[in-house]
Amino acid sequence: MTETSVIFFDIDGTLLNHEKELPQKTKEAVFQLKEAGHVVAIATGRAPFMFEDLRKELDIQTYVSYNGQYVVLNGQVVYANPLNISSLLQLTERALANNHPVVFMDHEDMKANVPEHSYINESITTLKIDRFPSHDPYYYEERDLYQTLLFCPEGEEKQYEQEFKDFDFIRWHPVSVDILPKGGSKAIGIQKIVEQLGFPPERQYAFGDGLNDIEMLTNVKNSIAMGNAEDSVKEAARFVTKSVEENGIYHGLQMVGLL
């Protein structure tokens, strides 16, 4: 019997195409992996509630979410790395003065600190999810937050980067930036899972396409960049497959001998 492996998949631009659809060939590939006894996991920048339907469709209970800040193995939380609330509240006050709204996010929901704003509408709608942040400026109270969204035009996040050293700022939209705990990454989240599963490096695989995948692709021994990835992402990976629109997952799994 072939030794089993663990395979981590990014979501947007990797499992899902640019229309946020799951290609049939990709779905078939995931179930073939599972039938062969492999562990299939997700590693994403998304919140858990933003890919619940996808987890159900693929029957996946192991995932790294929020770029490594909230990690679940077989349905159980094994690692959580919340934001520093004191620093976050200082940042939020500065952002309000600059007319830059924020959205607080935990593992269950997201709430905006303003009733409405065009930047929130413009960016959140591109995710094509069935949830939109409602208004609750005190959502940070008595709960852990794993990510906050800061809404500002490109370049204007620099002032926050210079002052708030507890956080990493990752732009994902022309008017929106992820705020994450400093130094957190998908690679750290993956490490928390493989430590418990016991897979050696040669039996660890990861697929990704975005800038937030670079550390994951650098640290996982058998890393595969999607053909639609930027050059810097491809350079970080050991292999490069076809694009998501060309059944890149299926082709990549064949290329590395998992299918």
What is d(CA 101, CA 45) in angstroms, rounded to the nearest whole number? 20
Which amino acid, residue 257? Answer: G
Q: Which two tokens stand for residue 180?
A: 């994450």
Strand partners, 232: none
Alpha-carbon span 56 to 225, nearest angstrom: 25
Catalogue the E-assigned strands of 126-173.
134-135, 147-150, 167-173
150 with 95: CB under 8 angstroms? yes
Q: What are phi and psi of 92, to 5 degrees?
A: -65, -40
Secondary structure of residue 150 in the 3-state scheme = strand
For the sheet with 110-112, list strands across it. Answer: 134-135, 110-112, 102-105, 147-150, 176-181, 167-173
- The residue among 98, 91, 99, 88 whose CA lies nearest residue 147 is 88
Q: Give the type of residue at 131.
A: R
d(CA 48, CA 66): 8
- Asked about 12 being catalytic, the answer comes back as no
* Separation between Cα atoms, residue 62 and residue 91, nearest integer Å: 32
Tell me which residues are annotated as active site. Answer: 10
